[in-house]
Each structure stands twice: as C-alpha cells, then as structure tokens.
C-alpha cells in the first residue's frame, strides 16, 4: 500500500464526502482507503477533512462545537416549562433497594417519580443508597489530599485507620481495600488516575481549579463507559448506557437559554464548555496516534481485545453535543453530598416535601419503633444517602424533596426553580402563597439579598442539596 500526497488525499476526501454524505469519520476513512488502496492514519485523514471545509455526518469526537442537536435529542419546551428527556430503568431493582416504594411515569415537566407502595410513618428509613457515580465536592479537596478523609466514601478520619489502603499508582488513600475496589469503578477511575493515565492530569487540574464538579462526573461516566465496553462486554455496557440515559437530562444550551446571566456571558461560558470538552477528549479519546496507543495499552490490561469506537459510539458519548447533554444531565441530578444516585434522582420537587435526605454517620441505626422524630443534626457522615419520611406518607402519595431552601419566599423559589431546573412549582404551598394583589415596594437592600440568594443557587451548579431542614 502507498501513502498519498496531501493534494491527492484532499481530492479523495472531498470526492468521498460528497458521494457519501451520511458516513461518519471512521467509515469515510475506511471507504477512501479501500477505494484507493492507500495507507492513511486517522489523524491525517481528519486534518484533510477539515482542510476541505467540512466534517463527516456524525462530526466525530473532534468535530467543531455546534449548537445544532441531533434530531430526536431536543428537550421539549412547553409553555414556561422545559420537559427533560427521561425514562424508567427496568434494571434498577427498586423492590430490593426500597421495598415500600415504586416508580411511576407522570409525563410532562414532572417526568418520572416515586410513590409510596405502602404507608410510611414519620421517621421511617425509606432506603439507603450509595452513589452510581461518586465525586467529592471541591471544598473537600484539602482533606482528601492530606489523608483526613477516604477518597471514595468520604468518611472523615481523626487518624489513619488500620485498614487504610492506598492507590498503588498515586497518593490517594481509602479507608479499606473494599473502598479502593469500589472507587476504581466510580470515584477514582483508572483512566482518571494520573499514575495510570498521565494524560488525565490537565483535566483533573482544570476540574479542581474551576471547582467544576459536574465536569468531573462527566469524566467519570465516560471513563467507566470506555473500560466497561472492553473489560466487561456488550451486555454490561448496554445496562450501564441505559442507566446513564435514564437520568433526566436537558442540553446545557437549551437549559441556559432563559438565564440572563448566561446571555450576558455567553461567549465566556461557551468557551469554557469547549475547553472542558477538549480536555475530556485529550484524556479519554485522544486524536494523536501516540496518545491513542497509550490509552489502548491501558485498556488492553490482561490481554483484552480493544476495538475502536464506532461512529455511533463517538457521537453518543464524545461529540460536543453529547458533552452538553451529559453536562446538562449531571447538573439536573447532582446531589451535593456524593454524586449521582440512581434512585434518588427519581425524586421530584415540592415546597412542602415529605422526604428528608441525610448523610448520617456509619453508626446510625433506624429507630426501633415508629413513628419517630427525625435525627438531630450530626457530624457529616459518608456519601451514602439515607432517605427518611418527614411525616406520615399514605399509600399512593408521591415522594418529594425540596430542590431549594424552604425558607425562601415564593417568588425567589419560583425564580430559582425556573432558572435552575426549567419549571415553575405549582405545589399546594405555592398556590396558598400566591400574592392576591401587587406586593408593596420592597426595601432595596432586602431585594438585593434575595437576588443574591437565588443567584447562589443557580451559580452552585444547581446541585440537589442535602435537605437538613427539620
């Protein structure tokens, strides 16, 4: 096989692209090589494709960022609401995790949710849950890097436990070998460990420096997908993919469209999105042959067969549009205390919630009899969530939490919910608190403080915070 000149390659690329407009990058490359009998690297082909003034149909992972979304992936905008895409995950064993709860599809802006399958009493532990994808808050970085806390379950230490286990490739410490093992599937993935994959260092530094936790979770999702398709096979990968895309999601550009802060800084924000996407590609889907070989060597652990991503996989997981979809999904579902939780993410909002979400210490036990008062404020526990009934919940009633502080006035709650989550609340409390007439002129200082409170919720990546308001 011969290698074409640059002019020959550009001419062939132009002809192939015009003749096969629906082919993605890799299939277009294969078509050119087969037709011409040439030896051409993917990197050189992508460069030639860019030089002739276009991209392949799927755009590939390295395609220029575009605000256009793949048909069928747009979130619905109905009136004043955004309707996230979501579905029920049949592989999530709710009956085992939470025997007194069942999932339901409500449709519309409410999407899916949870209802009581049996009556729940005040103080009853409804379920406990570990994160599907774990990621510590950036504010814990100093404790995590100074051996004061487990890098996975986030249990704080007064001194190093006897069972402590260290990552064999970097300084990260864990409270036991079990936590280390679980971390390698979630919070401390091998492809993001700088001792294993040095190319992840710029991404990790960017996430920490910007305190961009949602980007860190997107990275963990992509890393897990890559290793799962090679190390665990097609069936496990399909289950994982179904779980990821069952979370409610709205493309970040669509979500931010009505946010005045975004419109004022759109250029800066979209530039940061582009930087985050490129760092993800450099760490997990590099375009140079040297870096591709390095990543393949890691994935080939134990003699496993590594196959290139298909065009469909590139588009679904690594394109710029996929990045905005995943980023929007994480921002809608991120729980402040530990990451993404598969069952917890079903919970809808109410300004009169009947469920409380807590991080309780490992030694906490459910009350011996019910009804019971809710636990008092305690020292922060691990990243395991405990869901408790705030009051008696009748059979068939929906389980709800609050996405915003309960002491906020109605107008501020509504603004924070619309800009952060895409909907206005119509719960019973909001209906009761509707102003019958135009409110009196508000004190400017009080107005400023309220606006700052709303902005802090939105600027905080809209995380679902732990509801410790008794």
* Each residue's pLDDT expressed in tens, for the chain with a length of 470 residues: 678 888 788 888 877 776 665 566 777 787 787 788 888 777 687 777 766 655 444 333 333 333 333 333 345 676 677 889 999 999 999 999 999 999 999 988 789 999 999 999 999 999 999 999 999 988 888 899 899 999 999 999 988 999 999 999 999 999 999 999 999 988 999 999 999 999 999 999 999 999 999 999 999 999 999 999 999 999 999 999 999 999 999 999 988 988 888 889 999 999 999 999 999 999 999 989 999 999 999 999 878 999 999 999 999 999 999 999 999 999 999 998 889 999 999 999 999 999 999 999 888 999 999 999 999 887 778 999 999 999 999 999 999 999 999 999 999 999 999 988 989 999 999 999 987 655 556 666 666 666 666 666 665 544 433 444 33
Question: Do 66 and 321 touch, CB atoms closer than 8 A?
Answer: yes
Q: How far apart are CA 24 and CA 63, in angstroms?
A: 11
Could you give the CA distance from residue 402 to residue 104 in angstroms, rounded to a whole number? 19
Length of the chain: 470
CB contact at 8 A, 210 and 295: no
Q: What DSSP state is assigned to residue 314? A: I
Pick the closest to residue 326 from 244, 445, 225 (CA basis): 244
Tokens in use for 148?
Answer: 């004061």
Please state, in angstroms and rounded to a whole number, the distance separating the CA atoms of residues 283 and 297: 14
Tell me what pLDDT residue 65 has. 37
Is 324 in contact with 70 (CB distance < 8 Å)? no
Residues 6 or more apart in contact with residue 268 via CB below 8 angstroms: none
pLDDT for the residue numbered 440: 57
**Contact yes or no for 120/283 (Cβ under 8 A):** no
Query: Is the CB of residue 334 less than 8 Å from the CB of residue 247?
Result: no
H-helix or E-strand spanning residue 340: strand 339-340
Longest dimension (CA), the chain: 81
Strands 348-349, 355-358: pairing is unpaired
Rounded-to-integer distance, Cα 160 and Cα 59, Å: 49
Residues 6+ apart with CB under 8 A from 327: 214, 215, 218, 252, 273, 276
Predicted local confidence at residue 263, as pLDDT? 87
Question: Collapsing DSSP states into helix, strand and coil, what is residue 226?
Answer: helix
Looking at residue 330, its pLDDT comes to: 97
pLDDT of residue 228: 95
What is the per-residue pLDDT for 68? 39
Give dist(CA 297, CA 199) in Å, integer. 13
Q: How much helix, strand and coil, in percent to the nearest 5, is found in the chain?
A: 45, 10, 45
- Structure confidence at residue 445 (pLDDT): 64
**C-alpha torsion 14→19→23→25, nearest 10:** -10
Q: Give the pLDDT score at 116.
A: 98
Contact 341, 129 (CB under 8 A): yes
- CA atoms of 411 and 419, how far apart (whole Å): 12
The residues with which 249 forms a beta bridge, in sequence order, are: 85
Give the model's pLDDT for residue 207: 95
Alpha-helical (H) ranges within 388-443 are 410-421, 428-432
The pLDDT score that the predictor gives to residue 60 is 39
């Amino acid at each position: 096989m011969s290698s074409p000149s640059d002019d020959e390659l550009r001419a062939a690329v132009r002809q192939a692209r015009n003749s096969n407009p629906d082919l993605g990058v890799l299939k277009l490359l294969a078509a050119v090589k087969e037709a011409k009998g040439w030896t051409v690297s993917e990197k050189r082909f992508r460069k030639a494709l860019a030089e002739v003034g276009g991209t392949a149909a799927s755009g590939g992972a390295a395609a220029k960022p575009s605000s256009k979304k793949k048909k069928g992936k747009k979130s619905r905008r109905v009136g004043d609401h955004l309707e996230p895409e979501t579905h029920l995950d049949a592989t999530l064993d709710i009956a085992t995790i939470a025997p007194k709860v069942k999932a339901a599809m409500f449709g519309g802006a409410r999407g899916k949710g949870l209802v009581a399958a049996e009556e729940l009493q005040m103080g009853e532990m409804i379920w406990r849950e570990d994160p599907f994808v774990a990621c510590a808050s950036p504010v814990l970085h100093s404790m995590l890097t100074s051996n004061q806390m487990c890098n996975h379950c986030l249990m704080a230490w007064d001194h190093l436990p006897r069972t402590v286990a260290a990552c064999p490739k970097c300084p990260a410490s864990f409270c036991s070998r079990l936590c280390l093992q679980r971390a390698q599937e979630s919070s401390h993935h091998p492809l993001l460990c700088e001792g294993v994959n040095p190319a992840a260092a710029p991404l990790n530094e960017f996430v920490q420096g910007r305190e961009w936790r949602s980007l860190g979770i997107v990275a963990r999702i992509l890393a897990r997908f890559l290793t799962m398709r090679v190390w665990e096979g097609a069936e496990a990968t399909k289950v994982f993919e179904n779980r990821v895309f069952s979370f409610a999601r709205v493309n970040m550009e669509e979500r931010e469209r009505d946010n005045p802060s975004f419109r004022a800084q759109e250029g800066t924000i979209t530039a940061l999105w582009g930087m985050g996407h490129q760092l993800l590609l450099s760490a997990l889907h590099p375009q140079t042959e040297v870096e591709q070989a390095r990543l393949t060597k890691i994935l080939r652990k134990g003699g496993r067969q590594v196959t290139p991503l298909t065009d469909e996989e590139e588009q679904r997981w690594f394109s710029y549009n996929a990045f905005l979809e995943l980023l929007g999904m994480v921002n809608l579902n991120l729980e402040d205390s530990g990451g993404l939780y598969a069952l917890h993410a079903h919970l809808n909002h109410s300004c009169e919630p009947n469920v409380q979400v807590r991080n309780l210490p490992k030694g906490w036990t459910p009350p011996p009899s019910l009804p019971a008062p809710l636990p008092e404020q305690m020292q922060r526990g691990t990243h395991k969530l405990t869901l408790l009934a705030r009051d008696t919940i009748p059979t068939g009633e929906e389980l709800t939490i609050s996405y915003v502080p309960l002491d906020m006035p109605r107008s501020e709650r509504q603004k924070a919910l619309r800009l952060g989550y895409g909907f206005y609340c119509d719960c019973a409390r909001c209906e009761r608190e509707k102003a019958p007439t135009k409110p009196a002129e508000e004190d400017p200082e009080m107005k400023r403080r309220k606006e700052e409170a709303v902005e802090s919720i939105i600027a905080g990546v809209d995380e679902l915070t732990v509801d410790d308001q008794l």
